[in-house]
């Protein structure tokens, strides 16, 4: 069986960040996502039934303060994927793992277990970390930015060997040493689960191109030409390394019957109820510890962070949104990770109003 992440739909769909309180929106608006297990199950099953390709959790150990204390309540992502894998049928389940905080021998086995629970629908999202406060919780070593990716490369090589090597082996690397390493059962997906990464710095993107099956990119949104160059650069690098060239982005969605209603709803939760303290805390750390955005761009980007964790806006009527998706597809985007303020209500509206238009536009095969 092929992992559903690699479906033939021209525009693949996923839902992102619903394992976290507030989801992707840094706001105190009353309907912000409270995040319960029952709601997680309902949303996962809704997306599964509608034929979406993927469910992506955010790996987060601590909130960002402010009145919303954005993302302070989060479900751990491996146990989350195992639980949702057991109650869904076709959709890919991802887990987001901070490799410096989790040992590869343990995660290799957890990943194999989820791959069995889901019959080959598991994907591992490798993150190297940028939120220093979380590392302090673990007393974990905080390496220089580029060293974190060297560490991740060895971590992944070790995990991959555990997923493929039948005999016991010793490991004597720069970061890991061990004797008689061994892991059974092997994952259902031959060679191990699909691997994703969302590195945005030059080193992060190279890591992704060399080691991963797909990249989740944060478009800098300066202008269309530079976004296209960013996507093409990533894809070219992946192809040079003989790897799949899928490129997904995170989009935040505000879809209403009229454009004016959509803009008013966006303005309400971002400007009227936006949590500036939480977003400033997040961006001061993200700016220093990742190499994604220039300081000058950061200020302008605050709006996108409050609106949807730095994602790309899809705001307007269903028809306008499908037109915007067509543009993104022409730019080389293969998949969209969606988030909303009210995941349950707005995902259902997407299924009822946007999905049929996507199918009519040839972006996705009609559902059976």
Ligand X SMILES: Cc1cc2nc3c(=O)[nH]c(=O)nc-3n(C[C@H](O)[C@H](O)[C@H](O)COP(=O)(O)O)c2cc1C
Q: Which residues contact ligand X by CB under 6 A?
A: 58-59, 96, 127-131, 198-201, 204, 216, 218, 250, 290-292, 337
Could you tell me the smallest distance in angstroms from the CB atom of residue 98 to ligand X?
Answer: 6
Question: At how many degrees (to 10) do helices 104-117 and 145-164 cross?
Answer: 60
Closest CB to ligand X among residues 126, 315? 126
Give the C-alpha separation, 264 to 266, whole Å: 5
Q: How far is the CB of 59 from ligand X (least distance, A)?
A: 4
CB of 143 to ligand X, least distance (A): 12
Distance CA 326, CA 349 (A): 19
The smaller minimum CB distance to ligand X, of residues 82 and 198, is found at: 198
Q: What residues have CB less than 8 Å from 138, skipping those under 6 apart?
A: 101
Give bridge partners of residue 13 from the DSSP assignment.
336
Question: From the CB of 80, what's the least distance to ligand X, in Å?
Answer: 12
For residues 194 and 218, which CB has a smaller minimum distance to ligand X in the complex? 218
Tell me how far, at minimum, the Cβ of 125 lies from ligand X, in Å. Answer: 7
Q: How far is the CB of 366 from ligand X (least distance, A)?
A: 28
Cα torsion at 343, 228, 334, 296 (round to 10°)?
A: -30
Tokens of 16: 């992102």
- Cβ-closest position to ligand X: 204
Q: Which tokens go with 130?
A: 């940028």
Q: Which is nearest to 58 in space by CA: 160, 132, 131?
A: 131
Closer to ligand X by CB, 291 or 326: give it.
291
**Do the bridges between strand 169-172 and strand 177-181 make them parallel or antiparallel, or are there none, so unpaired?**
antiparallel
* Shortest distance (Å) from residue 290 CB to ligand X: 3
Residue 38 Cβ vs ligand X, minimum distance, rounded to whole Å: 23
- Which of residues 57 and 318 has its CB atom nearest to ligand X in the complex? 57
**Residue 71: CA count within 13 A, CB half-sphere:** 26
Least spacing, CB of residue 260 vs ligand X, in Å:
30
Sign (positive or negative) of CA dihedral 118, 88, 12, 32? negative
Contacts of 272 (CB under 8 A, 6+ apart): 29
d(CA 105, CA 155): 9
Phi, then psi, of 202 in degrees rounded to 5: -55, -45
Q: How far apart are CA 307 and CA 260, in angstroms?
A: 17
Comparison of 6 and 61: residue with beta carbon closer to ligand X = 61
The residue to which tokens 């238009």 are assigned: 357
Q: Which is nearer to ligand X, 98 or 109 (CB)?
A: 98
Judged by beta carbon, residue 116 or residue 147, the one nearer ligand X is 147
First to last CA, the chain: 19
Residue 130 vs 350, nearer CB to ligand X: 130
Q: Which two three-digit tokens encode residue 25? A: 């929106």
Main-chain phi, psi angles of 242, to 5 degrees? 70, 30
């Amino acid at each position: 069986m092929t992992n559903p992440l690699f479906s033939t739909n021209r525009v693949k769909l996923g839902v992102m960040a619903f394992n976290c309180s507030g989801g992707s929106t840094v706001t105190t608006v009353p309907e912000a996502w409270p995040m319960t297990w029952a709601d997680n199950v309902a949303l996962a099953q809704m997306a599964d039934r509608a034929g979406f390709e993927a469910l992506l959790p955010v790996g987060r150990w601590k909130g960002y303060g402010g009145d919303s204390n954005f993302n302070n309540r989060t479900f751990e992502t491996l146990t989350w994927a195992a639980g949702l894998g057991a109650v869904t049928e076709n959709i890919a389940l991802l887990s987001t793992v901070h490799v410096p905080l989790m040992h590869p021998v343990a995660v290799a086995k957890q990943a194999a277990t989820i791959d069995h629970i889901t019959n080959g629908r598991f994907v591992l999202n490798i993150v190297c970390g940028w939120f220093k406060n979380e590392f302090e919780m673990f007393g974990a070593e905080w390496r220089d930015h580029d060293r974190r990716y060297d560490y991740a490369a060895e971590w992944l090589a070790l995990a991959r060997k555990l997923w493929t090597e039948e005999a016991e082996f010793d490991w004597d690397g720069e970061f890991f040493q061990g004797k008689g390493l061994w892991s059974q059962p092997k994952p259902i997906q031959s060679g191990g689960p699909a691997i994703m990464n969302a590195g945005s710095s030059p080193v992060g993107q190279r890591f992704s191109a060399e080691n991963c099956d797909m990249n989740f990119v944060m478009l800098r949104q300066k202008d269309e030409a530079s976004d296209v160059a960013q996507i093409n650069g990533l894809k070219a690098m992946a192809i040079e390394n003989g790897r799949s060239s899928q490129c997904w982005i995170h989009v935040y969605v505000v879809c209403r019957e009229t454009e004016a209603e959509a803009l008013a709803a966006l303005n309400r939760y971002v400007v009227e109820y936006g949590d500036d303290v939480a977003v400033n805390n997040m961006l001061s750390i993200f700016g220093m510890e990742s190499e994604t955005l220039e300081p000058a761009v950061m200020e302008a980007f605050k709006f996108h962070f409050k609106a949807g964790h730095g994602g790309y806006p899809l705001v307007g009527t269903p028809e306008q949104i499908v037109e915007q998706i067509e543009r993104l597809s022409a730019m080389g985007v293969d998949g969209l990770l969606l988030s909303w303020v009210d995941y349950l209500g707005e995902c259902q509206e997407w299924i009822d109003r946007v999905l049929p238009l996507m199918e009519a536009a040839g972006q996705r095969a009609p559902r059976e």
